[in-house]
Structure 1
Amino acid sequence: MKMSVVLPVVLLCALALFALSFLMSVPSAILLLVFGFCLWAVGYRYYSAWLAAKVMCLDAGRETPACKINDGRDYVPTNKYVLFGHQFAAIAGAGPLIGPVLAAQWGFMPGLLWIVLGAVIAGATHDFVVLVLSVRQGGLSIAEIARKEISTPTGRVMSLAIFLIMVLTLAGLSIAVVNALKGSPWGTVTVGLTIPIAFLMGFWMFHFRPGKIGEASLIGVILLFVATWLGSIVPGTEFAKYFTYSEQTMKILLPTYAFFASVLPVWMLLLPRDYLSSYMKIGVAVAIALGVLIAHPMLQMPPFTKFISGGGPIIPGPLFPYLFITIACGAISGFHCMVGTGTTPKMLSCETDARFIGYGAMIMESFVAALALIAACVLPVGDYFAINTAPAVFQKLGMHTQQVAYISQLVGENLVGRPGGAVSLAAGIAYIFDNVPFLTGMMGYWYHFIIMFEAMFILSAVDAGTRVGRYLLQEFLGIFVPKFKDIHWNFGIVLTGFLVSFFWGYLLYSGNVSTIWPMFGASNQLLACLALLIATTEILRRTRKISYSLVTMIPGAFMVTITFTAAWMNFANIFLPMAQKGNVAGVINAFLSILLLAMGIWVLFDSIRVWLKILSGSDAVKSTSD
């Protein structure tokens, strides 16, 4: 290995270790970011370059599905920066914002290590590799790739598991959007205006001024600022009542929007809206980072708390395995493989862009997750737990609040007893901004702005996820009715888009999804480990090198251990006792936990069977470049 590579890697890793060691005695938020930036730089600049050149062998001359098919609806060659915006906006849902906030109950150190190391070694590798696999197989879903790489039965098992997880995840993500937008004219106006702005950008980039990405970006950013300003002045005016919707109304509007986003040509609404949202997401993330650098807040949460062995008031389980399923997006997430084998591979114009889009977007999401962890940990410990637990639970902790009453007064809302992570995240970010010179006295503004920002952040994952769900349903129904596999059949496109929107919309409207929420983390991470197993199979078959396959095999083995343990603990310790008492929610959760665990075991053993055949030389080499 060249000294020009070894030296910077060693120096960056040494600086990361230096920052980490000082964090134990000087809990500065700046040191936390230094640790992260050093390892993110090593991961993207050096590790991902090695993966691209040696393991995946990217070829700029290989024709991508977007260029080969180019149907103007789903397969559309797209500028790599626009596609990066879509990928980042689609994968960055509630996970990188909420998961780190909830995981702060164990202290800041466990979450920090998992967010940074998990993303560099596992999450970004997962996103990059599955994207390349899908591109080389015509934009197929991870289930179809499993069918081709492992076996037809495994492909069928994956189809059922993925669709089930997708529907549950979309309903769960949408609950966070509903809670953020209900009764909030500011959020409704701003998020709603991004839709016509997206239409304008889409037509500008693809019809009015084809290829003029800079012009469309400038127009979009200016109009986004206007939309944010308009949203901020609506509350308190006579127009507010027209944009103040109840919870049930929002539960109808969201799946309706998602349906149209899933069936309209991708360049018309979904792609430009995600690209536009990425500007706000990245812009706010950079603003928070600058706020941390200027205000240099100290982390008031200790590195480790007494709850690492279990018994926490927010998440009752122990650090292992629950940390790794609480922080999903931000470290590694199975939802990402649905985007990476769904919308993104159908728009990639050059294979070598997969590194920037797949690995790079995940590193950006890890950065956002680290900022969310900082926002939670700069709050006084008592205030953090007072916000994230019910008042009766908080009283039993023997803790005292410090500034939560004062912050509540400034933002105009009672923040005590508001669990779920979203409120404490907004309060923490507002707390940081309030300590920046020239921004003091604006805590109420920043709090409501961040609540609106969270809704926009998550909504991008919902619309992209619904479109991916349509792809999955078309593939699955195509097994029985081949016509559904015709990507140009408008009736099939509209029908499957409607069914997916209806399925998760029904769960959202009825509220039943709240009974299944406890198993979301385990099922989502189970999908990530299954995708890593499939990726390992492809790498082994193509390269015949065990050393190369370790890049996905080791993270896959770790995730198998985590998810199988968590699924069994959920079943044995939580859902089964509930079911034995006649609780319907417990019965549903127990059944789904065992079903998904059984599916995971099937894929694991079938993958190992294929690996042994490959290593013994009895399995024919397949080309994934056709």
Structure 2
Amino acid sequence: MLMEGLVGVVALIAAASLDPKLYFEMNTDLREVHHYQPQLDELYQRLGLVREQHDPLHQAGVADVHQLRIPQHDLGEVERMGGGEALRGRTGGAVTLAVGMALIFTDALRWTGLAIEQVMKYWYHFAIMFEALFILTTIDTGTRIARFLLQEALGKVYHRFERTDWLPGAVLATAVVTGLWGALIWTGSISTIWPMFGIANQLLAVIALALVTTLLINSGRGRYAWVTLLPMLFVISTTMTAGAQLITSQFPAMIAEGGSRALAGYLNIALTLFVMLCVLVLLLNAIVRWITVWLSQGLPTAAKTDVITSVADPSSPGEST
């Protein structure tokens, strides 16, 4: 979570360093340009940005804290420096992060006299490769875990599915899971899966914090539970609120578009509800355990030990006193 937070800070810095005109040209969906064009024109006019100009602050000679002029770039120039790849309408944040990082590192090396365009190409494609590897390894791990969970569930119906080395079961479970992934990305847009991915990712942090809190309380170190309990309450409140908003607004809008987008909307709603309900069940179970242990604080020492032991390991019988 700390590393993800650091990546988030870097992404914000990279986005904030971009010329506003360049940022909106990359992050406005080409299918929605006609909806946002009046707002963009108003924004550009307020900022003094027109097609022939850049940021008026820098045009006027305003320097940064080190009194160094910050070079500005238009979309055509950035596309040329990055190798000719089209960047207009590349929403989702990945291209914004890559371009922002590439421009920061490239502009920092201008004084060296190096071939700036080659440096720009290197940093841009390096950032894209880094993001792709991060996403692909995450999907790979998630697919493997989903396959194991599916085989375990099917094993309750037919026992051979529980064996991960049983080839027919492994092939069937893998095909089902990858088929569901394929249905999610059928539209080819990152917006298909990204909102649900963010919800699931943050709720995974809730599960980890709840388990650590339970461990602290069960082991008699409840006075330190606030260290994990407070962040857990913050994450679950914000994530559950975001999940509810997605289910009631964004995903229904996808369904209303029809076609493959409708299928993606239904799948996102189903999976988001499933993940949220699983986390709520686990959290409720954890709260019951916390209350059980805290209520045992007033019992005699031997009885308290039995209660804590039974909560930590329900299968182990408590010692009679």
| TM-score, normalised by the number of residues in structure 1 | 0.37
Quote the offset at 1:456 in angstroms.
3.0
Whether 1:557 and 2:215 are equivalent positions in the alignment is no
Q: What is the letter of the counterpart of residue 376 of structure 1?
A: A
- Which residue number in structure 1 is paired with residue 290 of structure 2? 611
Task: Answer yes or no: is the 8 Å Cα contact 1:386–1:394 preserved in 2.
Answer: no
Question: How far, CA to CA, are the matches of 2:220 and 2:266 in structure 1?
Answer: 45
Question: How far, CA to CA, are the matches of 2:142 and 2:270 in structure 1?
Answer: 24
Distance 1:592 1:487, change over 3 A: closer
2:87 aligned to 415, 422, 441, which one? 415
2:197 aligned to 498, 520, 541, which one? 520
Distance 1:616 1:514, change over 3 A: same
Map 1:3-82; keep pairs closer than 5 Å.
Answer: none
Map 1:26-425; keep pairs closer than 5 Å.
Answer: 123-124=1-2, 330-331=4-5, 366=6, 368-390=7-29, 391-392=33-34, 393=36, 395-397=38-40, 398-399=43-44, 400=49, 402=54, 403-404=73-74, 405-411=76-82, 412-425=84-97
Task: Answer yes or no: is the 8 Å Cα contact 2:185–2:193 preserved in 1.
Answer: no
TM-align CA RMSD: 3.6
1:553-593, Cα deviation, whole Å (9 max, x unpaired): 22211111111211222233444577689994655555555
Task: Answer yes or no: is the 8 Å Cα contact 2:216–2:225 preserved in 1.
Answer: yes
Larger radius of gyration: 2
Quote the offset at 1:610 in angstroms.
2.0
1:451 aligned to 128, 136, 150, which one? 128
Question: How far, CA to CA, are the matches of 1:388 and 1:568 in structure 2?
Answer: 25
2:155 aligned to 475, 478, 494, which one? 478
Question: How far, CA to CA, are the matches of 1:484 and 1:451 in structure 2?
Answer: 38
Specify the SS of the correspondent of 2:4: coil
- Which residue number in structure 2 is paired with residue 96 of structure 1? none
Quote the offset at 1:330 in angstroms.
0.8
Quote the offset at 1:488 in angstroms.
4.7
Q: Percent identity?
A: 37
Q: What is the letter of the counterpart of residue 90 of structure 2?
A: R
Q: What is the letter of the counterpart of residue 223 of structure 2?
A: S
- Which residue number in structure 2 is paired with residue 56 of structure 1? none
Whether 1:567 and 2:243 are equivalent positions in the alignment is yes
Q: What is the letter of the counterpart of residue 382 of structure 1?
A: K
Quote the offset at 1:449 in angstroms.
4.1
1:418-453, Cα deviation, whole Å (9 max, x unpaired): 222222222222212322122523224443443344
Structure 1's unaligned 5+ residue stretches are 1-122, 125-328, 332-365
Task: Answer yes or no: is the 8 Å Cα contact 2:14–2:100 preserved in 1.
Answer: yes
Which has the bigger relative contact order, CA under 8 A and spacing at least 6? 1
Question: How far, CA to CA, are the matches of 1:518 and 1:465 in structure 2?
Answer: 16
Question: How far, CA to CA, are the matches of 1:497 and 1:580 in structure 2?
Answer: 31
Distance 1:520 1:454, change over 3 A: closer
- Which residue number in structure 2 is paired with residue 503 of structure 1? 180
1:622 aligned to 288, 312, 315, which one? 312
Specify the SS of the correspondent of 2:97: helix
Distance 1:508 1:416, change over 3 A: closer
Structure 2's unaligned 5+ residue stretches are 55-72, 297-306, 317-321
Quote the offset at 1:612 in angstroms.
1.0
Task: Answer yes or no: is the 8 Å Cα contact 1:539–1:548 preserved in 2.
Answer: yes
Task: Answer yes or no: is the 8 Å Cα contact 1:387–1:424 preserved in 2.
Answer: yes
Question: How far, CA to CA, are the matches of 1:578 and 1:466 in structure 2?
Answer: 24
Question: How far, CA to CA, are the matches of 1:553 and 1:426 in structure 2?
Answer: 35
- Which residue number in structure 2 is paired with residue 185 of structure 1? none
1:177-213, Cα deviation, whole Å (9 max, x unpaired): xxxxxxxxxxxxxxxxxxxxxxxxxxxxxxxxxxxxx
Distance 1:576 1:488, change over 3 A: closer
Task: Answer yes or no: is the 8 Å Cα contact 1:544–1:615 preserved in 2.
Answer: no
2:106 aligned to 427, 434, 439, which one? 434
Whether 1:538 and 2:215 are equivalent positions in the alignment is yes
Quote the offset at 1:547 in angstroms.
2.0
Q: What is the letter of the counterpart of residue 424 of structure 1?
A: T
Task: Answer yes or no: is the 8 Å Cα contact 2:184–2:267 preserved in 1.
Answer: no
| TM-score, normalised by the number of residues in structure 2 | 0.66
Q: What is the letter of the counterpart of residue 422 of structure 1?
A: A
Distance 1:549 1:471, change over 3 A: farther
Question: How far, CA to CA, are the matches of 1:421 and 1:495 in structure 2?
Answer: 35
Quote the offset at 1:396 in angstroms.
1.4
Q: Number of residue pairs matched?
A: 263
Quote the offset at 1:380 in angstroms.
1.8
Q: What is the letter of the counterpart of residue 312 of structure 2?
A: K
Q: What is the letter of the counterpart of residue 540 of structure 1?
A: I
